[in-house]
Structure 1
Amino acid sequence: MTETTPQSISVSTTDCYVTQYDRLDDAPLSVAVAEAVATYRDADPIDLEPLYYAVNPEALERLFEPRADGLRSDGSVTFEYNDCSVTVTADGEIRVTAA
């Protein structure tokens, strides 16, 4: 059996931006959320409000981090950030739409 490296998939329309976050990656989920919103807004992530104005980044990380019994298989969280609605799902999807 061979293992494959997960590919990052991004889909963008004028109404929605969707990207896949690798939950086993060392990069923080909070960074991936900021980058997704920046991409949707066609902005630099540095120019966005800090994520902690919208959601506790540590709580977001802990919600979707691998558990002792494996990866969480269901659940999602939705919040507003920089005039966007952001939904993060347990399977690693980050969906950004206009708020």
Structure 2
Amino acid sequence: MNGLFSDHECSPIHRVHFEPTNSGQLSSAIVCAISTVADRSPRDIGPLWEAIDPEALERLLDHAAARGAMASVGLEFSVDEFDIVVTDCGEILVYGDSSDYGSDDDLEFTFDG
């Protein structure tokens, strides 16, 4: 993951790939990843827009794709009891409860480029 996020002391509990050039599927992919890990229906997952603006996330990834190798983007946010990392490489990583790692619920953003 290019070393963008090093706060997590353990491996993600779930990893999903999405097609970065089709960011329209991103919100659904995030919710499905969380529901898989939580063993709950996607309807039982907190609204994604309460944690992050899904359209802004899609625009960010579209911008990174347009920049190509000149930029590397990753974004970390929390939904329910999970930390979610989304990268421009097409990865969604799900980590367990953020309190397990001593981090707060703030949004974290990195940009190399």
Same fold, judged at TM 0.5 (above): yes
One-letter identity of the residue aligned with 1:18: R
Unaligned runs of 5+ in 2: 1-11, 98-113
- Deviation of 1:41 (Å): 0.7
Among 20, 25, 29, which residue is 2:22 paired with? 25
> Which residue matches 2:84?
86
Taking structure 2 as the reference length, the TM-score comes to 0.65
Q: 1:1-99 alignment to 2 at 5 Å?
A: 16-25=13-22, 27-65=24-62, 67-68=65-66, 70=68, 73-99=71-97
Taking structure 1 as the reference length, the TM-score comes to 0.74
- Deviates further, 67-76 or 27-36: 67-76
Distance 1:42 1:56 in 2: 24
Distance 1:38 1:72 in 2: 34
Contact kept, 8 Å, 1:28 with 1:61, in 2: the verdict is no
> % of aligned pairs identical?
32
> Which residue matches 1:5?
none
Q: Which runs of 4+ in 1 moved over 3 A?
A: 66-73
> Root-mean-square deviation (CA), in Å?
2.1
- Deviation of 1:73 (Å): 5.0
- Deviation of 1:59 (Å): 0.7
Task: Identify the structure with the greater helix proportion.
Answer: 2
Unaligned runs of 5+ in 1: 1-14
2:72 is paired with a residue whose SS is coil
Contact kept, 8 Å, 1:18 with 1:93, in 2: the verdict is yes
